[in-house]
Amino acid sequence: MITGKNYIGNDLKAEGTVTFKTFNPKLHLDNNTLFTEASDSEIEDAANLAQEAFKEYAKISGNERAVFLKAIADEIMALGDSLIDTYMSETGLPKGRAQGERGRTVGQLRMFANLVETDNWRELKHDEAIPDRAPAPKPDLLKMLIPIGPIAVFGASNFPLAYSTAGGDTASALASGCPVIVKSHPMHAGTGELVGSAIVKAAKKTGMPNGVFSNLNSKGIEVGTKLVQHPKIKGVGFTGSIKGGRALYDLAAKRPEPIPVFAEMGSINPVIITQNALLKRGSEIATTYAGSITLGAGQFCTNPGLLLGLKSDHLSDFITELGQKTIENEAQCMLHPNIQHNYIKNGAMVSSQNGLEVIAEYDQVLEESYAPSKIVTVNGAVFLENPKLHTEVFGPFSMVVQCDNEAQLLEVIANLDGQLTGTIIAEKEDYDGLGALVNTLQNRVGRIIFNGVPTGVEVCESMTHGGPYPASTDSRFTAVGPDAIKRWARPFSYQDFPKELLPEILKE
């Protein structure tokens, strides 16, 4: 049952005066539940509980935390159709997407549970003492990763499960030994409360300290702002816009004690297609990329918003076919009217720039909240001269840049903002000439895909989901995969410590 209240630790509370409802973009009407935004005193209570919980939670064994994480996964699955139905009513996304995202969410929880059952992730190091070393003795040193403290996690608009209440940020932070306070996304507060109830139920069942998790409702930015500024919060996880992520980053930097903000933000995910690939399979590539551009109404952080190639008849034919196949795909409902509004506004702004040509635009009558797909093109020189053409248009929109030669193509890539992904579509005969392209692209992205599409992020050890700013605020870390846990830990050393006083994991 959804109450519209906040989880302040294990307790449901609704002391605030600001209320709101979520919105069903398919039916274009408000959902029934009235949610209450967390009050200042509730934010304070959640932070205090998290700090107290940290004292105990940071010290419990990895096995105990693993049991907790697995219990969360089980409780999410036990929510059954109520979770799926709520997800669909708040997003307009289909049942298959809801079920798939739920599967990814519980899979991530179980992955982190398996990770922390051993202490290998803590990177234990030992340098033995050499007391008779000259000119100075060497001390005995042990090093390990330890959790940094309570973490504020911001739910993402486009992934109500996998990047939100019990998503990758929360799962990795809890796995590391850090309590979590989630600032639930207002577009899917009901989904967030249901998942929050599963986490609280799991915490009680497994004996976790009260305050290890809280879930706060928020209509606007005030709750999130106060969380990031709270002195007991020691780190932030965010997935969303450049504007939102940068605002949190700046707030955290201005604190008396600055804290890390791990924000995944904007990305247009450049795709480079060689002449040989266009010649051999241009039609196939157009079909594949039309599907990728429109997948989920283009509401993926890895949506291919920019395609690059060298001017030629083959590229011209490809652009025409890509445009036609893109608009042939059925229009889809976007997550919220505000997202659809921003898509239309940003798409119109980019399309109005001098030198840009609209190749194809979906022109059928659309229901409210639905997104008309669009393909545009521009030459390399114009793209380089106009920064507005680099704007991310979040939705089923993609731009093809026609470059005069390879030098201009490399210049375009080198002048892009940091990106989550870059993709190369090429043939074997291209391999010898791809060195400069790979090197240039590597400096601008977190992951290079070869002969594939960027949409789709595998959750595994080798995945990097991050990249140079503004793709993320710290390109040294990934938001996906087991290594995401390292965002919430810091290295710590014990020097010349008696064995009796060391943590159990170091006594061996």
Domain definitions of the chain by residue range: 6-119+148-265+472-506, 270-450
Beta-bridge mates of residue 490: 146
Model confidence at 508: pLDDT above 80: no
Average pLDDT, the chain: 97
**Structural class in CATH, domain 6-119+148-265+472-506:** alpha beta
Model confidence at 2: pLDDT above 80: yes
Q: What is the pLDDT of residue 378?
A: 98
Q: What is the pLDDT of residue 160?
A: 96
- Between β-strands 397-403 and 374-379, what pairing exists: parallel, antiparallel or unpaired? parallel
**What Rg, from alpha-carbon coordinates, does the chain have?**
24
| Reported pTM | 0.96
- CB count, 10 Å around CB of 44? 15
The answer to whether 150 and 51 are in contact (CB under 8 A) is: yes
pLDDT digit string, tens, across residues 356-371:
999 999 998 888 899 9
pLDDT digit string, tens, across residues 55-85:
999 999 999 999 999 999 999 999 999 999 9
**Structural class in CATH, domain 270-450:** alpha beta
Q: What is the pLDDT of residue 367?
A: 87
Q: What is the mean pLDDT of residues 293-302?
A: 94
pLDDT band at 281 (very low <50, low <70, confident <90, very high): very high
Catalytic residue flag (residue 37) = no
Which 3 state secondary structure label does DSSP give 19?
A: strand
Q: What is the mean pLDDT of residues 259-277?
A: 97
From the list 264, 321, 392, 403, the catalytic residue is: 264
Model confidence at 297: pLDDT above 80: yes
From the list 301, 321, 333, 403, the catalytic residue is: 301
Question: What DSSP string describes 254-278?
Answer: HSSS---EEEE-----EEEE-HHHH
Catalytic residue flag (residue 461) = no
